[in-house]
A and B are shown apart, each in its own frame.
Chain A
């Protein structure tokens, strides 16, 4: 019982879709505080859908989502924010016509008014690049800067659970590396749970405590990065087909 209370995120048997047939079926993932948990898989495997279902953007038709023991299945995104969940979508991740500072203020919407300026100060020390452009409209930032702003925005509330949807998509490899190696691991080190969906499997495995592999809307494999990289089936699941241990075509 108390173990469940500590589990930052527990999703069991989640089935969800966009209204018609379900896109993901019977998916279960779990994240503890201080951990970086990754969900990888080829395109179209349902990774983004899983995050959207957890955070309430999509309807869950079967299964259960709980945060620290509390049932939040099909809670609205506004309520999820109040539960201490910070979600960064893959696209449309900033308020383009608002300035950088105003984006951060929106991130701190739920905070008491007096706390906001200090919180902004703190967040800007984590992302120093942003402090040089606080007045600039978010729509005018470069790809990497936008992603930083998107992360900084969720950081404002100091959530216990971060849900990141392909944060390194469209980022140059060096920036992507920094994001994962430094900033994402920082989040976990400060005690939050991080559930991160990624296409760059190698890079994210390097910083993960545990990884789930999805394919065709279902969970195909799971394990620690070490277990997975040692498994031939892991590579095969990315490249389709069956792996023949003899090495010839499948």
Chain B
């Protein structure tokens, strides 16, 4: 039962990042493999602010801003020029790997590669529906739920959200409706970048001790969740995150904890082999 609790927390962190990743892909058609490294950067910025004396929750806000800024800059300076040139998707992926290296090891160069952790202050444990969770863990789950509801509301009810979905579905037709696709895309990068930053800090809070390479394996979970739900499909990513989060943690109760990620890996490869459009259908 404890593993269900862990599963929920992993799912919570995963959901924020998976939704961000898949929305990026949906609107911009870029498989941004630098996503995990931007998470790392945001987590470390939060650490440095935290070290300077601020509460981690304030630092969290800052990390969202960092995520947004870096993502928008990345698109403006790198991805967009390559796309305008008509580069093949695989070229974009290779470039995104290069960006991942620059960001992740840029942080490592400054940090020195040592593991760090936040000053979290005191936290109490609570009993909640048969699970034992700390207040911090509950806050993480709460943040994730708020984000999910927020993203859902954004996409369903706001003008920007619908413009994002329209741009993702048919960019030229969106422009014919008067939607400034370029602005929508920049807004998407900013928004999903903020989610990325948030996910990074929340991830770091959850694992406790982290170093610049901690998110490498997490990228696998993100990709598994994204492809399980269907690449580009926001609600699919939420569902995928829940399934992957629970599956990895629950499996840890049965196979040794070190191999729990194998489940995610197997699911990802199975989806790629059998149904690359995901459970909930393709991005159109």
Contact = CB atoms under 8 A, between A and B. Distances in A.
Interface size class on chain A is 20 to 34
A106 B162 contact: yes
27 contacts: A57-B172, A77-B172, A78-B175, A78-B178, A80-B176, A81-B177, A81-B178, A82-B178, A89-B173, A92-B172, A93-B173, A94-B170, A95-B166, A95-B169, A95-B174, A96-B169, A96-B170, A97-B284, A98-B165, A106-B166, A106-B177, A106-B179, A107-B177, A109-B159, A109-B178, A109-B179, A113-B159
A94 to B, nearest CB: 7
How large, as a class, is the contact surface on chain B?
A: 10 to 19
A209 interface: no
Interface string B190-221: 00000000000000000000000000000000
Given A78-B178, A113-B159, A92 B284 contact: no
B110 to A, nearest CB: 42
A87 B176 contact: yes
A243 B179 CA distance: 48
Interface string A77-112: 110111000010100111111100010011101100
The 10 closest A-B pairs by CB, nearest first: A81-B178, A77-B175, A110-B178, A95-B169, A96-B284, A109-B177, A106-B166, A77-B176, A78-B175, A106-B177
Contacts of B180: 78
B170 to A, nearest CB: 5
A147 B284 CA distance: 18
Interface of B: 159, 162-163, 165-166, 169-170, 172-181, 284
B246 to A, nearest CB: 27
Given A105-B162, A139-B284, A97 B173 contact: no
Contacts of A80: 176
Given A102-B162, A109-B159, A109-B163, A95 B173 contact: yes
A95 B179 contact: no
Nearest to A79: B178
A107 to B, nearest CB: 6
A170 interface: no
A37 interface: no
Nearest to B281: A97
Nearest to B156: A102
A12 B261 CA distance: 64
A82 B179 CA distance: 10
Contacts of B163: 106, 109
B179 A97 contact: no
A76 to B, nearest CB: 7
A104 to B, nearest CB: 10
Contacts of B179: 78, 106, 109
A47 interface: no
Given A76-B175, A95-B166, 13 more contacts: A78-B178, A78-B180, A80-B176, A87-B176, A89-B173, A89-B176, A95-B170, A95-B174, A96-B169, A98-B165, A102-B162, A106-B162, A109-B177
A153 B159 contact: no
A97 B172 contact: no
A89 B175 CA distance: 12
Interface in A121-171: 139, 153, 157
Contacts of A95: 165-166, 169-170, 173-174
A106 B174 contact: yes
A97 B165 contact: yes
A24 interface: no
B61 to A, nearest CB: 29
B60 to A, nearest CB: 32
A92 B181 CA distance: 17
Contacts of B176: 55, 77, 80-81, 87, 89
